[in-house]
């Protein structure tokens, strides 16, 4: 093999007991995209996904060695770009073991955390190459070398010289023609029956969770919310140890190209499918022909997609539902206007959140409401406002997170600037981990924010109106499953004693 793409397992270290049954296991979207790109250039690759095939460190290391690959590439994006740092938990452990057992292998890291902090990642003893942005152009150029010489011209690459000192390669390039430069996904390299959807996406029914796939129709985001680092993958500069995205913006595959990918997945038996775009419900030029194409082809997927509250258009909801978009994920984040202004979602003041959520529900589409506690201006009063709004909206599913300064996000830069206490270990960035360490606010400690979040989650999931909604819409079995889920209590190091 020319390349062995590796997705390290993080399992219980990131999700605790939720990893056994309830957390999703997503196909390795970026490994599939990169593998198909290399295939078009006549390179052979293999994907070893240790999140789907959970193995011991020794077993995983031997599996990598058995591929006899020229280059081992750890693909570290997670279930979304914001979880790239979480993927470093398993990557550090496995890459270190591979280096100890088989030092002859060249090891590359690519992913959102790598793009955010390339100069820190390249200093790790077990990393030979680190890519900024998606690494598409850089990986192709690197494979044209012997992995030792002529590395200074590889775009968007950080590498070590003969003395082990970090060096920068050539000027990075952002790919723009996605149809040609990212020509689909190498679906044949993975077994899609090994993957399972998010629990709520299958209407809380385990039997509908697999086979499962996820795919992009666009890359990037035109917004710049302070807590998000999605745009770090657009960068072209190497930056310093603390880096921000160079630009905002979106790139799209053509609707015709995307519809062919849908057809491939349909033939593979996939019916439950996530649209991973940060903002699918935004540009009619792209989403209308895709949705109309699905309807015309009779491809009845169970889809979910992302939207901002202020991008939802009531006149388009019927089309979304008819095309199989049964869930819309809304980034509501906070109920308090001052807090929303701080996180660059101030335009929501012109939008009635309650009205938008009701319009979506009236169209027969279920709502996933995302909320975040612990922004710098949050206190108990503002967080209770957010919790009250979540209870009032009674979405079909609710996610609660603690504000965490993820590398590559504006919030991370802000935290560095003001000297706020930041996580040091990768595990501390993982939202559901035992070690999770969110930001403190101007008024609350990190422990107070974390306790509020965990208590709020159990309050919502044990709320009688929510139970009634689940039973009425999805059935008694779904409700029984929700009740089983709500019995799981996360252990938190910050809250011990």
What is the pLDDT at residue 172? 86
Q: How many domains does the chain have?
A: 2
Specify if 450 maps to a domain: yes
Same-domain check for residues 162 and 201: no
202 and 74 together in one domain: no
3-state class percentages of the chain: helix first, strand second, coil last, to nearest 5? 45, 15, 40
Q: Specify whether 89 is located in the same domain as 200.
A: no
Whether 396 and 293 map to the same domain: the answer is yes
Tell me, yes or no, whether 86 and 144 share the same domain: yes
Report the CATH number at residue 45: 3.40.50.280
Residue whose structure tokens are 């302070």: 226
- Mean pLDDT within 126-148: 95
CATH number for 459? 3.80.30.20
**Of 103, 134, 168, which one is at a domain's C-terminal end?**
168
**Could you report the per-residue pLDDT of 242-301, keeping only the tens digit for each?**
444 455 678 999 999 999 999 999 999 999 999 999 889 989 999 999 999 999 999 999
Q: Of the candidates 210, 185, 187, 216, which has an alpha carbon nearest to the alpha carbon of residue 198?
A: 210
Cis check for the bond before 211: say yes or no (omega within 30 of 0). Answer: yes
CA distance 275 to 201: 12
And the tokens for 373? 């506690």
Mean pLDDT of 419-435: 93
- For residue 411, the model assigns a pLDDT of 86
Residue 160 and residue 208 share a domain: no
Side-chain-facing half-sphere of 438: CA atoms under 13 Å: 28
d(CA 298, CA 389): 38
Residue 437 lies in a domain: yes
**163 touches 155 (CB < 8 A):** no
* 441-470 confidence digits (pLDDT tens): 999 999 999 999 999 999 999 999 999 999
In a domain, 179, yes or no: no
What sign does the CA torsion over 134, 261, 267, 215 have? Answer: positive
- Look at residue 242 and tell me if it is in a domain: no
Place of tokens 């590439």: 73
**Residue 343 counted as domain residue:** yes
What is the H or E stretch that residue 284 is in? Answer: helix 284-297
Query: Average pLDDT for residues 331-350, to the nearest whole number?
Result: 73
Q: Is the pTM of this model over 0.85?
A: yes
The pLDDT assigned to 326 comes to 98
Tell me how far apart the 2 most distant CA atoms of the chain are, in Å: 66
DSSP, res 371? E
User: Rounded distance, CA 374 to CA 450, Å?
Assistant: 8
Q: Please give the Cα distance from 392 to 19 (Å, whole number).
A: 29
Q: Mean pLDDT across the stretch 410-431? A: 89
Same domain? 143 vs 205? no
| In a shared domain, residues 282 and 400 | yes
Q: Which pLDDT score is estimated for 226? A: 79
Same domain, yes or no: 369 and 453: yes
What was the pLDDT predicted at 45? 97
List the one residue out of 238, 48, 5, 34 whose CA is nearest residue 140. Answer: 34
Asked if residue 200 and residue 111 are part of one domain, the reply reads no
3-state secondary structure of 392: helix
Which helix or strand (DSSP H or E) is residue 75 part of? strand 71-76
Say if residue 112 is in the same domain as residue 196: no
| Domain presence at residue 237 | no
Q: Which domain holds residue 153?
A: 3-168
**Do the beta carbons of residue 386 and residue 334 sit within 8 Å?**
yes
Is 383 a member of any domain? yes
pLDDT of residue 100: 97
Span 86-99, average pLDDT: 96
The two tokens of residue 143 are: 């494979």
Identify each DSSP E strand in 80-193 by its residue range. 106-111, 129-131, 157-160, 166-168
Question: Residues with Cβ < 8 Å from 232, sequence gap 6 or more?
Answer: 81, 112, 115, 116, 243, 244, 245, 408, 409
> Residue 245: what pLDDT?
45
- 477 and 364 together in one domain: yes
- How far CA 314 is from CA of 284, 361, 363, 396, in Å, comes to 13, 11, 9, 19
Is 471 within a domain? yes
pLDDT in tens, 165-217: 999 999 888 888 999 999 999 999 999 999 999 999 999 999 999 999 999 99
Task: Band the pLDDT of 344: cuts 50, 70, 90.
Answer: low
Report which secondary-structure segment, H or E, holds 212. strand 212-215
Q: What is the pLDDT of residue 242?
A: 41
Buried b (16+ CB within 10 A) or exposed e, 210-223: bbbbbbbbbbbbeb
């Amino acid at each position: 093999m020319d390349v062995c793409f590796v997705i390290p397992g993080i399992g219980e270290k990131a999700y605790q007991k939720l990893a056994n049954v309830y957390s999703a296991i997503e196909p390795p979207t970026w490994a599939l995209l990169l593998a198909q790109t290399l295939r078009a250039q006549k390179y052979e690759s293999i994907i070893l996904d240790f999140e789907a095939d959970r193995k011991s460190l020794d077993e995983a290391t031997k599996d990598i060695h058995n591929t006899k690959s020229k280059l081992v590439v750890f693909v570290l994006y997670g279930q979304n770009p914001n979880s790239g740092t979480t993927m470093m938990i398993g990557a550090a452990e496995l890459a270190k073991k591979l280096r100890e057992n088989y030092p002859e292998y060249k090891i590359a890291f690519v992913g959102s955390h790598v793009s955010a902090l390339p100069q820190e990642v390249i200093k790790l003893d077990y990393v030979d190459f680190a890519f900024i942005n998606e690494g598409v152009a850089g990986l192709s150029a690197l494979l044209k070398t012997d992995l030792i010489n002529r590395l200074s011209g590889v775009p968007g690459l950080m590498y070590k010289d003969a003395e082990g000192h970090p060096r920068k390669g050539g000027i990075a390039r952002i790919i723009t023609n996605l149809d040609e430069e990212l020509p689909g996904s190498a679906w044949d390299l993975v077994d899609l029956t090994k993957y399972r959807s998010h629990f709520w996406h299958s209407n809380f029914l385990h039997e509908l969770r697999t086979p499962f796939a996820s795919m992009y129709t666009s890359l990037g985001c035109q917004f710049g919310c302070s807590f998000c680092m999605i745009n770090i993958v657009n960068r072209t500069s190497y930056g310093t140890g603390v880096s921000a995205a160079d630009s905002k913006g979106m790139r799209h595959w053509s609707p015709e190209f995307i519809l062919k990918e849908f057809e491939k997945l349909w033939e593979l038996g996939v019916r439950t499918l996530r649209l991973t775009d940060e903002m699918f419900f935004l540009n009619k030029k792209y989403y209308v022909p895709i949705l109309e194409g699905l309807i015309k082809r009779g491809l009845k997927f169970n889809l979910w997609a992302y939207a901002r509250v202020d991008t939802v258009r009531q006149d388009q909801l019927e089309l979304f539902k008819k095309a199989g978009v049964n869930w819309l994920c809304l980034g509501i984040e906070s109920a308090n206007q001052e807090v929303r202004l701080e996180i660059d979602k101030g335009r929501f003041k012109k939008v009635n959140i309650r009205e938008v959520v009701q319009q979506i529900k009236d169209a027969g589409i279920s709502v996933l409401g995302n909320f975040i506690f612990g922004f710098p201006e949050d206190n108990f009063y503002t967080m209770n406002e957010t919790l009250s709004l979540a209870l009032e909206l009674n979405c079909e599913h609710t996610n609660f997170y603690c504000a965490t300064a993820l590398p590559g996000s504006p919030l991370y830069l802000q935290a560095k600037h003001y000297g706020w206490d930041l996580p040091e270990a990768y595990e501390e960035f993982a939202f559901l981990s035992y070690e999770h360490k969110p930001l403190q606010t101007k008024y609350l400690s990190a422990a107070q924010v974390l306790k509020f979040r965990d208590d709020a989650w159990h309050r919502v999931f044990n709320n009688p109106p929510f139970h009634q909604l689940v039973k009425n819409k999805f059935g008694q079995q779904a409700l029984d499953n929700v009740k089983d889920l709500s019995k799981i209590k996360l252990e938190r190091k910050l809250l011990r004693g």
